[in-house]
Structure formats: C-alpha cells, structure tokens
Amino acid sequence: MILDLFAGPGGWSRALTVFGVQDVGLEWDEWASKTRRAAGLLTVRTDVARYPTWPFVGRTRGLIASPPCQAWSTAGKRLGLLDQPLVHEAVDQFAAGRDTRARLVARCRDERSLLAAEPMRYLHALNTAGEPEWVAMEEVPDVLPLWKQYAAVLRAWGFSVWTGILNAADYGVPQTRRRAILLASRVRTAQPPAP
C-alpha cells in the first residue's frame, strides 16, 4: 500500500490515480475526509499523531506526507520557526525509536509545529521491516532545514534522497506555489522532476 499522512482532500491521491495506484489517506479534518470519500479515495479519519504505526508495517511500499503548514506559513504567526529546535529534537527521538512527544509538545508555542516530525515516527516503524521503498514529502519553504534532517536519517537507512524548493508554476499549475520537497528512494536515485 501507499500511505498518505495528512492526506487532506486528496491532491496526492488524485495524482496517484493517474498512474492507476490508490493510497490510504489518514486525515483528521471532517470535511477533507468527506471530500476524499466522495471522490472514492480510501480514507481513515484520524489524528496522524495518535494513530498507531503497526497496521502499516510489512505492508507499505510508499509514504507520502504533507504535514499541516499553519505553524510555519507566512500567512500565519510562524511559531513553527520558534519551535523548530523542538521539532528537530522530535525527529531525532523518533528516528531512534523514542517517543518524547508529550514533553516536547508541552514546550511548543504552537502544538501543530510538532506534526512536521510525525512522518519520522512512521518511517522508523516501517524501516524495521525494510520499508517503504520510497518517500515523498512537501511543506512550505521554511521547513527545508527539517527535510534536510530527515534526509540525513534516510540516507543512513540506505535511501537516495533529494531535498530542495520547487515551484508548482514550473510544472503547469496556474499559480506560484513554492514548496520544500523531500524525495527518497531505496531503489533508484532520487532527483527532482524536470520542469
């Protein structure tokens, strides 16, 4: 299966259907979940931070993650930037198989900041089974240093990894939408798509 964390209304999922692939999306928002279901997309309405990882171990080929951007976005208060050291600490802890979220989230200025570390909790669990084969993650540009931290961990686990900023306008989307991207693969060289 392909696991889509913070699946939203289904952007990644819709793209996968073009290739004849379906994912399982985890999404907490009621309306985003209803939109996914109305589009025929497999959806588990849940909080990614509270959902166990074990149902996916031994079954996951790819992992997609688009954590909520409100804590990091220029459209918000950007408290994620102030919380960034705590998020980096959470990524380190998850990568080592330790869950210190309760202590860290209590120190965050915006509790949503720590959601950017959640994919590493899933990746650590999946890595114990030699999974996933590939990873794709996106967020607002200010999250790029965090993606670079993920990249270092994934490389140590045998992945080829590329991180950088891409602009959706360079790929046919009729808007300027710059995003920090992480692409990783165990089976091929990770590189950005050509515009």
Are 86 and 113 in contact by the 8 Å Cβ rule? The answer is yes
What residues form DSSP beta bridges with 137? 65, 182
With 70 as the cut, is the pLDDT of residue 75 above it?
A: no
Q: What mean pLDDT, rounded, does the chain reach?
A: 94
Per-residue pLDDT averaged across 166-170, rounded? 96
* Domain extent at residue 130: 52-185
Domain assignment of residue 128, yes or no: yes
Per-residue pLDDT averaged across 168-184, rounded? 95
Domain assignment of residue 110, yes or no: yes
Retrieve residue 55's tokens: 């149902």
Domain assignment of residue 2, yes or no: no
With 90 as the cut, is the pLDDT of residue 73 above it?
A: no
Give the predicted TM-score (pTM) of the model.
Answer: 0.94
The domain tally of the chain equals: 1
The CATH number of residue 66's host domain is: 3.40.50.150
Are 31 and 43 in contact by the 8 Å Cβ rule? The answer is no
pLDDT of residue 121: 98
With 80 as the cut, is the pLDDT of residue 78 above it?
A: no
* Cα 148 to Cα 164: distance, rounded to the nearest angstrom: 9
Domain assignment of residue 21, yes or no: no
With 80 as the cut, is the pLDDT of residue 76 above it?
A: no
Q: Give yes or no for a cis peptide into 132 (omega within 30° of 0).
A: yes
Per-residue pLDDT averaged across 178-193, rounded? 97
Domain assignment of residue 96, yes or no: yes
Instruction: Using alpha carbons only, give the angle 12, 153, 180 rounded to the nearest 5 degrees.
Output: 40
